[in-house]
Amino acid sequence: MIVVLRLGHRIKRDKRISTHVALVARAFCANEIVFSGDEDRELICSVKKIVSEWGDEFKINYEKNWRNFLKRKKEEGFEIIHLTMYGLPITKLIEKIRISNKDKIIVVGGAKVPGEVYEIADFNVSITNQPHSEVAALAVFLHEFFQGKELEKKFDGKVRIIPQEKGKKIVRN
Amino acid sequence: MIVVLRLGHRIKRDKRISTHVALVARAFCANEIVFSGDEDRELICSVKKIVSEWGDEFKINYEKNWRNFLKRKKEEGFEIIHLTMYGLPITKLIEKIRISNKDKIIVVGGAKVPGEVYEIADFNVSITNQPHSEVAALAVFLHEFFQGKELEKKFDGKVRIIPQEKGKKIVRN
């Protein structure tokens, strides 16, 4: 069970980035996205719509109080993985994270991530120590975690793409 | 030589996504980002500022006419790789792309990518056939292309991070 927690969503600035975070979580085989920060019904609706079209189980939720959420999940036995450019390199941690059988919360910021997140996390993982993107960090983390197997997943959507050398082929069931 | 071409930038909607595309290109060891669509000096400035702080060579350019740009580059011997959810799976193509010694343009959309792009591309590559994010697609493509070696790159910036198990450590030269 893999849950992605997106911290500090801001309706005005983050709508598209947060949507990308959610869609990456889904496409790379996480089970759920939880948004924190501003409550944004439009964002939740638009992700739900994509899930209903493109298929498969994927939960979308909002948690006002991410502190309590993380504490609760930790008590339930979840391992907390925080993706941050300040953390230890993924190459050093991924094997350990992969081997552990625990359910996982993957935390991605957010403008300013509070210090507590670094403390409560079991692993602070960097995908390069350069500034780039929480969207990219999440994708590469999940890709490494699943060792590329996530790319083979079949989704049972109403809409499907038949991969083409040139052009587009979409099938609707 | 790897150049990323970001198609169809729109100042009003894409500022942050395009910034993320540029930063991913840099952090994952591409040599240059070229923006097309709206000319956005603020975007170019903000990426240049990050490069000057965090180091290394990375070019940022704007091309009004992406058609001519792609044709010209093709004539110069560049291979054109278009990342699209409609393309053939990366797992099927990456070996072939990796082996070829040619310089590469990696094209990422953009709202509506014109059909010509699929035609001019030597490879239309999908990173899953699910909707997600050009930012994620670019990161996973470069990660696969460089086989994880890009994560080891040292940047010679004024600012550097010393990876930590908990918390943040930044060094300024």
Q: How far apart are CA B122 and CA B29, in angstroms?
A: 21
CA distances to A5, A18, A94, A128, A148 from A89, in Å: 20, 24, 9, 7, 19
Tens digits of residue pLDDT in B38-87: 999 999 999 999 999 999 999 999 999 999 999 999 999 999 999 999 99
| Residue A82: pLDDT over 90 | yes
**Whole-model pTM?**
0.98
In chain A, what residues touch B16 (CB-CB under 8 Å)?
13-14, 16-17
What chain B holds in terms of domains, given with CATH numbers, is 2-172 (3.40.1280.10)
Average pLDDT over residues B96-120: 94
pLDDT at residue B112 in the model: 87
Contact between A108 and A140 under an 8 Å Cβ cutoff? The reply is: no
In chain A, what residues touch B128 (CB-CB under 8 Å)?
27-28, 150-151, 153
| Band of pLDDT at residue A141, cut at 50, 70 and 90 | very high
**If phi over 0 gives left and psi between -120 and 50 gives alpha, with beta otherwise, what is residue B28?**
alpha
| Residue B111: pLDDT over 80 | no
- C-alpha distance from B114 to closest chain A C-alpha (Å): 10
What tokens appear for A49 in the block?
């719509």
Q: How many CB pairs under 8 A join A and B?
A: 161
Among chain B residues, the shortest Cα distance to A26 is held by: B132
3-class SS of residue B93: helix
Inspect the interface and report whether the beta carbons of B136 and A132 lie closer than 8 Å: no
